[in-house]
Amino acid sequence: MNDDTSNQHQPAAEPNSGNANSAFTRAQQVVAGLKQRVNRELIGQEAVVDQVIIALLSNGHVLLEGVPGLGKTLLVRVLANCFDGDFKRIQFTPDLMPADITGHVLFDMKDSNFRLRKGPVFTNLLLSDEINRAPAKTQAALLEVMQERQVTLEGKAQQLPTPFMVLATQNPIEQEGTYPLPEAQLDRFLIKVLIDYPSEEDEVKLSRLVTTGFVDDHAAFNNPDPILQPEQILQLQNVVANITVDDQVIDYAVRLVRATRNTTALRQGAGTRACISLIRCARAMALLKGTPYAVPDDVKAMALPVLRHRVALSAELEIDGLSADQALEKIFSGVDAPRL
- Render pLDDT for 146-176 as a digit per residue (tens, 0 to 9): 989 999 887 788 899 999 999 999 887 666 6
- pLDDT of 117: 83
Beta bridge pairs of residue 235: none
- pLDDT of 49: 94
- pLDDT of 220: 59
Confidence of residue 50 (pLDDT cuts 50, 70, 90): very high
N-terminal to C-terminal alpha carbon distance within the chain: 21
- pLDDT of 211: 80
- pLDDT of 252: 97
**What's 2-332's CATH class?**
alpha beta
Task: Read off the amino acid at residue 118.
Answer: K
Report whether pLDDT(41) > 90: no
- pLDDT of 135: 86
Note the residue count of the chain.
340
Give the Cα separation of 105 and 117 in Å (integer).
6
Average pLDDT of the chain is 86
- 8 Å CB contact between 280 and 58: yes
Beta strands in the chain (DSSP E): 62-65, 87-91, 103-108, 113-118, 125-129, 150-153, 156-159, 165-170, 191-194, 244-245, 266-268, 293-294, 312-313
Three-state SS string over 168-218 comes to: EEECCCCCCCCCCCCHHHHCCCCEEEECCCCCHHHHHHHHHHHHCCCCCHH
- 8 Å CB contact between 324 and 232: no
Mean pLDDT of 273-277: 96
- pLDDT of 238: 95
Report whether pLDDT(142) > 50: yes
Residue 20: how many CA atoms within 13 Å on its side-chain side?
19
pLDDT over 70 for what percent of the chain? 89
pLDDT in tens, 217-261: 666 566 678 888 999 999 999 999 999 999 999 999 999 999 999
Give the Cα separation of 101 and 104 in Å (integer).
9
pLDDT over 90 for what percent of the chain? 54
Quick one: CA dihedral 23, 24, 29, 33, positive or negative? positive
pLDDT in tens, 186-208: 899 999 999 988 889 988 888 88
- pLDDT of 13: 42
pLDDT in tens, 276-333: 999 999 999 999 999 999 999 999 999 999 999 999 999 998 888 889 999 999 999 9
Give the Cα separation of 135 and 182 in Å (integer).
10
